[in-house]
Structure 1
C-alpha cells in the first residue's frame, strides 16, 4: 500500500512592449509634419507622434494551483507455474485552477478583464500481470510468456468521463529473443489554458496585412489585420488508438550485442493545434475556410471578439473609423482533425569491455511514414 499527495502553486507576469495601431494608422494618414509618420526617415517624424505610437503595452498575469492525491494497492494475488499473478489497483483525485488578468493600453491606462476557472478529475485504475510461462515451467518455444491488462476510468467535471484500456503481451521463445506487443486507447482533455483562460486570449491588431489571398490587391497590404488568438471554450478532448509490435535480441554467442526494433501505429483524433494563418494553404484549402473572413464588417469583428481584450487599439469602432481591416483570422486553438502516423524505432548497439576501457558503437533512429488521412474534422 502506498499513498502520494502533492500541491503546487505558480505565478507569472508578462509585459510586452507593443505599438499603438490606432496611432500608426492616424500617423500614416497624417498630412502635416506634426501629425505624419515618415517610415523611411523616422528623424523627420515628430517626437510626439513616435511617443504616441510607442506608448502601448500588452499585460498579463496568472496564478495556477494544482493539488493531487493518489492511493495504490499493489502485490501478488496467487502463484502459477509461470510465476506470481500480480494486481495493482488505485484511485486518484486531481484539482487545478487558473486565475488570470489580461489587459492592454498605454502604460498608465491599461484596461482588461479577470477570469477564473477550475477542474476536478476523479480516477480509478487497475492493472493485472499474468505469467503463463516462466523459469519453473519453460518449454521449447516458450522460455517465458506474460500477459498484462490495464484499465483507467477518469471523470472530469467539465469534459465528461472516459474509460481507456490497454493490453500487452511479452513472449520469449528462447532466452536471447523477446517479442512484445500492446494495444491501448488514450484520452487527453484540453488544458484550462486551451479552453480560453490564459494570458494569450486576445484580439491582436496588426497595422498591415502581410498574409493575404493570392488574388488580393497590392493596396490591401496597407490595411489592418485582426487576429483572434488564444483558447477555445468549444474544444473537444484529444483521443488516440495506439498499437505496437517489436523485438529485442541479445544473442549469448556475441556478448555485448543488442538489436531491437518496434513498429508503432497511432491514430490521433481531434488533434488540438493553431490554424495555419500565416501559410498560403489557409486560402487555398477549403477545409480552412471557416478560419478567416475577408473584408469583415464591424459587426462581424465585434461578434468574433466578444469580451476579449484588444491589443493595439482602444476599441474596434475606433479602428474601423480610420481604416477597415482586410482580413479577420480565427487563430484560436482548434480541433484540426485526425492524424494517422506509423513508423519504426530501431536500435543496434555493440559494447565491449577491454581492461579499463569501455567502447560502444550504436546505430539508432526512427523511420516515420507520412501522416495519412489528415484533415480538419470541424
Structure 2
C-alpha cells in the first residue's frame, strides 16, 4: 500500500473501528522482520514515477513534496536489492535522501535537512493520524525557516485539521478518534458509504436503509441511510464533508449519507463522543467527517460488478487529477446502480409479511470537484463542490398497494481563502451553500380493502443552507512542553426548510416554509504541559485541551457548550485520557409547524378514573421547543508497547445523558395510565378558559372535533396535552475496546485485529418523571455487543482480507409477540476480499497501475435472525430487525482499477 502525493494531508494506518482487549493474547505472536529483496527493473524516467514504482512494488508509503522532485530524472534501476537500497540508487545525485518513519513509511527530504526539522507526515503506532507539522528548529522552539532547492523557495506541506480540533498542525490526543483510511475502505470490498459505516461497531441503527418505516427509528420513506453513533437517535450524529456541514434530509431530521460517492472518499474520521463545543448542534453521539480525495495526479478508472440472489449491482467511477507548482485540482464522477430486492427472493421472510420490497431499486450519480491555488507566498484559495442524484423505487405493504419513489438531489459547495499572517497564524474565510431536495411520489389505499381506490400523494421536501465562517488559529506562546496554540472563530448561517404535500389531483395535505438564522462564536486552546522536551519520570507527556462554543438560534434560543480534555502519558507507549463536555441538538425545522395540530373531545370509562370526559390535543408544542441537551464524558487508554512493534491496544469508556428529547408522549390512554409520569401533560378540572385555549391550539391546524353530543367547554374533566415537545431522556454508557497487530514474516506482511463495542446500559424515560427502562438488547435498539475482527495478508502485489462481523443476541420485547421477551438469535457474517496489483510486475504498459479484486460480503450467506410478524393489517414487520441486520445476503463482486 503506497501513498504518493504532491502535498501530504495525512497518512493513517489500516484501521477499522474498534477491537477487543480480550484478544490481545491471541495476537501477540512473535514474527521475524526481514527486509524483502526484489528484482528491480525500472527505466530512466521522472523521479516521481520511480518513487511511486518503488512504493507499489515494496508495498510501502513513500511521502514527498512534488516540488522536491519536480524536473528531476531517475537513472535506470536494474538491481536485485531491498527497497531501501533501491531508494538510495534512484536518489543518488539528486540532492535528496530519505528518512525512515516506521517499518513501512519513509519521507523524501533534502540531504542537508536536519531530521528534527523535516516536514513530514506519518501514522502513529496506535493507528491515529500524525499530522504534517510546521518546520522548527531541533529544540522545537525555533521559527519556521523556508527551504529552497535550485534557488526556489519551497512551500511546506500544509498543516491540516482533523476531526476533534479546530487548530492546524496538532492532534487532539484527548479525543478517541477512529480513522477509516483509503486502504481500509478498499480492503472491505464495500461499494457504498452506507455499507462502510454499517461496519463501524459504534454505529447502531443504520436508519431506513430499506425505505420502510422502522419503529423507534424513522417514520419517513426516503429510502436512504443515516448514521446513529451510540444509538442515541436519528439526527444526533453530526455529519461533515471536508470538515463542513452538509444539508440534512429526512425532512430536516438527519443527513442522508447513502448517495455520497465512496470512490471520492479519501478517509473517514469518526469521533464517537459529544463535540458541540467544537461543531455546534447535532454532535450528541459524535461526529463523522468524510474527507474527499484531493491530491491525485493522473487518472483512475474503477469498474465494479456485483451479484446477489435476485440483485445485480454495478459501479463505475472516473477520477482526473493534476498538480502544478502552486496548486492542484481533482474531478471525480461515479455511477451506481442496484436492482430491487423483493421479499419473495428471501426465504426467511414469512408468507404473512405484507412487505414486498426489502431494498429499493437504486440509481445514483455523483460529481465532485476540489482544487486549491496558491497566490503569492501567503495567500491561497480553495474550492470544493459535490453534487449527487439518487433515484429509488420500491413497494410496501401489498394489501395497501403501496409503492414509493424518490428523486433526491444533494449539493455541497465551499469557496474559501487561506491567509498566512504574522508568525504561524492563519486566517481562513469561507462561504458555502448546501441543498437537499426530495421529490416523492407514493401510492396507497387508505385501508386494506381491494375495492378502495389508490390514492397518489406527491411530496416535495427541500432544505438549503448558506454559511459564512471566519477562523484564525496559531500559537500564543511557548512552554517547556511546546507551543500553546489557539483557534477562534465566528460563523453565521441561514437555513430554510420547505415542504409541500398534496394528494392528486388537487388536494393539499400539508404546506410548510420555515427558516432560521444561526450565529456562532467559538474558541479552543491546546496546552502541551509536558512533552519529550521536558519529560520527567512518570510524566512523558501531558496535554490539556479546552474548548467552548456559543450558538444562537432565531427559533430556539441559545446554547453554550464547554469541553475539556486531558491526556497523560506516564510511560512511553501508554496514554491515559479523560474528556468531558456538553452538547445539544436544535429542534428540526419540520417541528416548527402547526399544520398537524388538532383537538378532540371524547368520553369513556378510563381505568382508575371511571367515566371521564377528555379534551385531547395533538400536534407540536412549537412555542415551548428548545435545544435538546446532553452531557457526556469518556475515559480511555492507548497502549503501544515499545517492545512489541506494531501492536496497539485501546480502551474507551463513554457515558452520555441526553435530556429534553423532542418526542410524542403517546396516546390518551397511555398518558392517563400513569398520572405521576405524565403529570406535566395533564390538567384536571380545567377552567373554561383553559379548555377554550387548547381548542384554539387545535384549530391552528386540523381543527376541533367532538365525539361528545352537545359538547360545552365546562364538561371537560381533564385536558390531555399530547403534543410533540421536549420530553424524553436517554442515558447510555458502554465500552469500546480495540487491539491491532501488524508484523512482517519475510516478504509477507500481516495485519490482524479484533474489536467491538459493549453497551452496558441504554436507559430511556418517556418523561423526566417516568421510570427508566433499559432498552439495550431489545428489538430495534442497540444490542449489548457488536464486534468486528479482521486478518490481512500482503505479499508484493497480492493482498487477502477477511472480516468477521458479529451482532449479539437480544430479545423481542414487543407486546404483540406471542411469547414475552422471545430471543432474537445472534448473527455472525464473514467478508472476504482477494486482490492483485499488476504494478508489482509491470512498470510500464497497460498492466502498470492495473489491479483486480474479487470480494464476497456475507460469504456464508447467513440469513438475518427471524422475528415475529404481528398479525395486523397495518403491520410494517419484515420478519427480521432491519436496524441490526441486512437482508441482502451473499454479494460477490469483481472490481477493476486502472491508474493512468
TM-score, with structure 2 as normaliser: 0.31
Asked whether the equivalents of residues 98 and 118 of structure 1 are also in contact (C-alpha less than 8 Å), the reply is yes
Is 1:339 aligned with 2:724? Answer: no
Q: For 1:374 and 1:352, how far apart are their aligned partners in 2?
A: 51
Report deviation, 1:153: 1.1
Report deviation, 1:123: 0.7
Question: Cα deviation per residue 1:88-107 (whole Å; 9 max; x = unaligned)?
Answer: 10111110112222334xx3
Query: In structure 1, what is the equivalent of residue 428 of structure 2?
Result: 2
Report deviation, 1:345: 1.7
CA separation of 1:228/1:2 partners in 2, compared to 1, >3 Å: closer, same or farther? same
Asked whether the equivalents of residues 12 and 61 of structure 1 are also in contact (C-alpha less than 8 Å), the reply is yes
Report deviation, 1:257: 2.2
Q: Which has the higher contact order (CA 8 A, sep 6+)?
A: 1
1:79 to 478, 488, 495: 478
- The CA RMSD over aligned residues, in Å, is 3.9
Query: In structure 2, what is the equivalent of residue 132 of structure 1?
Result: 529
Asked whether the equivalents of residues 193 and 231 of structure 1 are also in contact (C-alpha less than 8 Å), the reply is no
Query: In structure 2, what is the equivalent of residue 272 of structure 1?
Result: 662
Report deviation, 1:70: 1.0
Asked whether the equivalents of residues 597 and 697 of structure 2 are also in contact (C-alpha less than 8 Å), the reply is no
Asked whether the equivalents of residues 728 and 765 of structure 2 are also in contact (C-alpha less than 8 Å), the reply is no
CA separation of 1:176/1:350 partners in 2, compared to 1, >3 Å: closer, same or farther? same
CA separation of 1:139/1:68 partners in 2, compared to 1, >3 Å: closer, same or farther? same
Q: Report 1:68-217 matches (<5 A).
A: 68-104=467-503, 107-112=504-509, 114-196=511-593, 201=596
Q: Report 1:242-321 matches (<5 A).
A: 242-275=632-665, 284-286=673-675, 287=677, 305-308=698-701
Unaligned runs of 5+ in 2: 1-426, 599-605, 609-615, 683-691, 710-718, 771-900
Is 1:16 aligned with 2:409? Answer: no
CA separation of 1:6/1:231 partners in 2, compared to 1, >3 Å: closer, same or farther? farther
Query: In structure 2, what is the equivalent of residue 348 of structure 1?
Result: 739
Q: For 2:627 and 2:633, how far apart are their aligned partners in 1?
A: 20
Asked whether the equivalents of residues 131 and 145 of structure 1 are also in contact (C-alpha less than 8 Å), the reply is yes
Asked whether the equivalents of residues 350 and 362 of structure 1 are also in contact (C-alpha less than 8 Å), the reply is no
Asked whether the equivalents of residues 112 and 309 of structure 1 are also in contact (C-alpha less than 8 Å), the reply is no
Question: Cα deviation per residue 1:221-265 (whole Å; 9 max; x = unaligned)?
Answer: xxxxx9956785532210111111111111112222222211222
Q: For 2:511 and 2:659, how far apart are their aligned partners in 1?
A: 33
Question: Matched residue of 2:536: which SS?
Answer: coil
Query: In structure 1, what is the equivalent of residue 309 of structure 2?
Result: none
Question: Matched residue of 1:193: which SS?
Answer: helix
Q: For 1:343 and 1:112, how far apart are their aligned partners in 2?
A: 44
Aligned residues: 315
2:464 to 52, 65, 72: 65
Asked whether the equivalents of residues 458 and 501 of structure 2 are also in contact (C-alpha less than 8 Å), the reply is yes
Q: For 2:670 and 2:582, how far apart are their aligned partners in 1?
A: 32
Larger strand fraction of residues: 1
Asked whether the equivalents of residues 142 and 171 of structure 1 are also in contact (C-alpha less than 8 Å), the reply is yes
CA separation of 1:148/1:229 partners in 2, compared to 1, >3 Å: closer, same or farther? same
Asked whether the equivalents of residues 566 and 578 of structure 2 are also in contact (C-alpha less than 8 Å), the reply is yes
Query: In structure 2, what is the equivalent of residue 34 of structure 1?
Result: none
Question: Matched residue of 2:589: which SS?
Answer: coil
TM-score, with structure 1 as normaliser: 0.70
